[in-house]
Amino acid sequence: MRHATRITILTLAVAIVGPASADRAAPQPAITEVAKPVAAESTAMPRRHPRDADYAFTQTIGSVTVYAASRTGLAMAETALTRFADAGLELPELPLWVHDTRHGCSREPGDLERSGVLVATADELYIHSCGKEFTLLHELAHAYDIGFLDDARRAAFMETRKATAWSGVEWRLAGGEHAADVIAWALLEGEVRPSRTLPNDDTSLALGFEILTSGS
C-alpha cells in the first residue's frame, strides 16, 4: 500500500479530533459456499436489500458481509477489505455485493452501468461493486467517511482541496468525493491517479490521506 511503502509521513500543523482506534483483528479468511448455484445472468434489476442476497459465495470480513457471484469477486472484496484493516481504517457494518458485470450496479432500468455504487439512507447502508478495484475502494472509503469521520477532520481536509462543500455539489467540488478518491489512491497498488478531484500530485494526495486517517 502506498501509505506503508511509498508515502513519506507528513507532519501536519492541523489539530485533528478523533479517538484512536483499538487494535483490530485481521479479517477472517474462512469462506462459506452456499449450497446453490450462482444466479444466471439476467436482465432483471439487482436486488437491493440484504435479505435478498442469493449469490453462491458469502463471507463476513470484519464488519462487512460480502455476497459474490464468483470466487474472483470474493477475492477482490477480501483484498480491498484487508487493505482497509491493514491501514487501521474501520468500516461500519454493511452488506457488499460483488457482481461479475456492470449491470449489477445500475440503479434502475436504462441507467448508466456503473462500476460501483454506495446507497446510504437513514435505514440502510450498502454497496454494489462491479469489477473495478479502485471504485470498490472508493465506495468503501465513503462508508468509512459516513461511519467515522468527524466535522473537524472533514474541515481540515477541505482546506487542502479544490472543493467547495462536502456533498450536494458536482463531483469535482465535493469534499466527500475528494476524500473517497484520496483513500482509494492510497490503498490501491499501482499507478491509478484520481483525475476529477484536484490537486492530484503525490504530495497533496499523501497530505489528504494523513488528515483523513490520523487518529483512526
Give the chain's domains with CATH numbers.
48-148 (3.30.2010), 150-216 (no CATH)
Per-residue confidence (pLDDT) for residue 171, from 0 to 100: 94
Instruction: Summarize pLDDT for 166-199 with one digit per residue, the tens.
Output: 999 999 999 999 999 999 999 999 888 999 999 9
Instruction: Summarize pLDDT for 11-64 with one digit per residue, the tens.
Output: 333 333 344 344 444 444 444 443 333 333 333 334 444 444 578 899 999 999
Angle 50-170-102 (CA atoms, 0-180°, nearest 5)?
Answer: 40
Per-residue confidence (pLDDT) for residue 105, from 0 to 100: 82
- On whether the CB atoms of residues 210 and 182 are closer than 8 A, the answer is no
DSSP states of 174-207 as a string? Answer: BHHHHHHHHHHHHHSSS----SSSS--SHHHHHH
